[in-house]
């Protein structure tokens, strides 16, 4: 898996991703604690609303950014967006009102909505061999998982010696370091084969996506993964601080469990995908996460949950979550020709975050109005809905395609 690090451009891009994610991880913990500081036990609703705004920015901005990304220098675009994100992060420590969180989150995530699809679409242009790209996907997933594991642990350690709002400075540093690493390499910026109108460029990725059976199946599995992660991200701070009565540092420990399970999946996936294929691995991952979340609901109803128990449950959910989403890049790359990759990756970014747009506020509302057991149960049922729909929308046999095939006619 590490052989792809011999490619200098990819090595720098991965490093940029790692440092940016480390900063984002600190912000995730700090934002939850900021919400709890301002709203108390209603923090789930505040954080759910903030994350809903984040998803709304992703859904609306990503297609527009993808349309213009075809005409822009990719490296300059990524650097500018990283700089914007760093500037917003510097403002977060000075927030004193809930509405200020919402405004800053919208600006920050609008920049991310332009950055992430363009960054993801660059990787298959740098690593053109599919086996190398599969290894890169696992390393990318590992980077996300290390962020989920190490950033909360780092945040927990830092919170012993500083206030939570100081963590936002680490977020800003991460984005600036990412920009410097992107500047250090030359990135490919493939040009489209013909000029298209703004409507065609804005909607092309979504039209390709929805005309492809395996990607429609990917969307239903993304719904399942979003239901699982929404419960973890939105409500862990309330479970740990209000239900368990534990200190701020325990929030980082519980979230690290989710990241640790996801990291284990990243290590296992290259061999699992070679042996079983994308569809089988993704369905199994969604099933593991859904069943574990349902078991969590039963355990919370039956006994007093210790921190180690919550962390262990979140680790299994994280394993299922990572197994469900990591292979998505392989499916997207097979679907799109090089000139269409930014649009198709942006479509996945937009449609997947539309799932979180629904599920983040639902998770916060359920936690605030129904309590922990009911929130876990209903989010498990939401995940089950996507899991049951996937085999119907994406039948067996629709996942084997030639590399470079643009649209599955099924």
Could you report the per-residue pLDDT of 55-80, keeping only the tens digit for each?
787 777 777 776 666 667 778 888 88
Q: What angle do CA 272, 261, 287 make, to 5 degrees?
A: 60
Long-range contacts of 95-104 (CB under 8 A, 24+ apart): 95/34, 95/165, 97/38, 98/35, 98/38, 98/39, 98/46, 101/31, 101/34, 101/35, 101/38, 101/46, 101/50, 102/49, 102/50, 102/53
pTM over cut 0.85 = no
Classify residue 91: in a domain, yes or no: yes
Q: If we measure between CA atoms, which residue out of 288, 290, 286, 292 comes closest to residue 311?
A: 292
What is the rounded CA–CA span in Å between residue 360 and residue 364? 6
Tell me the C-alpha distance between 225 and 262, whole Å.
Answer: 12
The DSSP letter of residue 394 is S
Q: Is the pLDDT of residue 403 over 60?
A: no
Q: How confident is the model at residue 222 (pLDDT cuts 50, 70, 90)?
A: very high
Q: Please give the helix or strand (H or E) that residue 239 lies within, else none.
A: none
Buried residues in 136-165 as b, exposed as e (16+ CB within 10 A) = bbbbbbbbbbbbbbbbbbbbbebbeeeebe
Question: What pLDDT sits at residue 216?
Answer: 92
pLDDT per residue as tens digits for the range 292-334: 999 999 998 877 789 999 999 999 999 999 899 888 888 887 7
- pLDDT band for position 399 (cuts 50, 70, 90): very low
Nearest to 341 by CA among 191, 198, 213: 191
Distance of CA 410 to the CA centre of its chain: 29
Provide mean pLDDT across the span 114-129. 77
Question: What confidence category does residue 409 fall into, taking pLDDT thresholds of 50, 70 and 90?
Answer: very low
Q: How far apart are CA 114 and CA 19, in angstroms?
A: 18
In-domain check, residue 403: no
Per-residue pLDDT, 109: 80
CA gap 385, 389 in Å, rounded: 6
387 contacts 232 by C-beta, under 8 angstroms:
no
Closest by alpha carbon to 186, among 141, 114, 125? 125
- Average model confidence (pLDDT) across the chain: 80
Among 287, 283, 263, CA closest to 273: 283
For 404, half-sphere exposure in the C-beta direction (CA atoms, 13 angstrom radius) is: 3
Q: Looking at the domain assignment, is residue 295 inside a domain?
A: yes
Which own/partner pairs from 190-198 qualify as long-range (CB within 8 Å, at least 24 positions apart)?
190/125, 190/338, 190/339, 190/341, 191/70, 191/339, 192/70, 192/339, 193/339, 198/67
CB distance 92 to 104 below 8 Å: yes
Structural domain for 253, as ranges: 2-393
CATH code assigned at 92: 1.20.1250.20
Tens of pLDDT, residue by residue over 251-288, are 878 888 887 888 888 788 878 888 888 899 999 999 99
Please state, in angstroms and rounded to a whole number, the distance separating the CA atoms of residues 292 and 377: 11
Residue pLDDT, tens place only, 1-44: 567 788 888 888 888 888 887 777 777 777 777 777 777 767 76
Tell which wins on pLDDT, 405 or 231.
231
Q: What are phi and psi of 180, to 5 degrees?
A: -65, -40
Residue 195 placed within a domain = yes
Is 86 part of any domain?
yes
Whether residue 402 lies inside any domain: the answer is no
Q: What is the pLDDT of residue 220?
A: 95
Q: Is residue 398 part of a domain?
A: no
Mean pLDDT for 240-250 is 83
Kindly tell me if the per-residue pLDDT of 404 is higher than 50. Answer: no
Q: What is the pLDDT of residues 185-208, one digit of tens each?
A: 887 765 555 555 555 666 777 888
HSE on the CB side for 233, CA within 13 Å? 26
Q: What local confidence, expressed as pLDDT, does residue 196 receive?
A: 58
Has residue 289 been placed in a domain? yes
DSSP state letter for 159 = T
Residue 113 has pLDDT above 70, yes or no: yes
Two structure tokens written together for 259: 């990241």
| Domains identified in the chain, total number | 1
């Amino acid at each position: 898996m590490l052989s792809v690090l011999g490619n200098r451009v990819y090595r720098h891009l991965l490093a940029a991703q790692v440092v940016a994610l480390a900063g984002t991880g600190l912000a995730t913990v700090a934002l939850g604690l900021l919400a709890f500081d301002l709203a108390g036990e209603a923090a789930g609703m505040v954080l759910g609303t903030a994350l809903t705004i984040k998803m709304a920015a992703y859904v609306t901005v990503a297609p527009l950014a993808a349309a213009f990304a075809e005409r822009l220098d990719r490296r300059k675009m990524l650097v500018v967006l990283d700089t914007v994100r760093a500037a917003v992060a510097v403002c977060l420590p000075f927030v004193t009102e809930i509405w200020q969180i919402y405004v800053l989150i919208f600006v920050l995530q609008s920049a991310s909505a332009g950055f992430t699809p363009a960054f993801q679409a660059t990787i298959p242009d740098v690593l053109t061999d599919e086996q190398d790209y599969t290894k890169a996907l696992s390393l990318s997933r590992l980077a996300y998982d290390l962020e989920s594991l190490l950033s909360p642990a780092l945040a927990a350690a830092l919170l012993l010696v500083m206030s939570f709002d100081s963590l936002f400075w680490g977020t800003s540093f991460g984005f600036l370091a990412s920009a410097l690493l992107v500047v250090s390499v030359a990135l490919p910026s493939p040009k489209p084969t013909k000029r298209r109108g703004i409507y065609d460029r804005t909607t092309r990725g979504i039209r390709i996506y929805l005309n492809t059976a395996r990607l429609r199946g990917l969307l239903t599995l993304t719904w399942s993964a979003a239901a699982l992660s929404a419960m973890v991200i939105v409500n862990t701070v309330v479970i740990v601080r209000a239900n368990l009565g534990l200190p701020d540092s325990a929030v980082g420990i519980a979230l690290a469990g989710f990241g640790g399970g996801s990291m284990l999946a990243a290590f296992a996936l290259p061999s699992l995908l070679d042996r079983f294929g994308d569809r089988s691995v993704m369905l199994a991952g969604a099933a593991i996460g859904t069943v574990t979340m349902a078991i969590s609901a039963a355990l919370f109803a039956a006994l007093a949950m210790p921190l180690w128990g919550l962390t262990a449950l979140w680790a299994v959910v994280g394993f299922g979550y990572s197994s469900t989403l990591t292979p998505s890049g392989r499916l997207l790359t097979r679907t799109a020709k090089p000139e269409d990759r930014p649009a198709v990756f942006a479509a996945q970014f937009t449609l997947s975050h539309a799932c979180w747009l629904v599920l983040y506020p639902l998770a916060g509302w359920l936690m605030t109005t129904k309590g922990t057991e009911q929130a876990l149960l209903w989010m498990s049922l939401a995940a089950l809905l996507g899991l049951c729909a996937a085999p119907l929308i994406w039948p067996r046999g629709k996942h084997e395609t030639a590399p470079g095939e643009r649209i599955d006619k099924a």
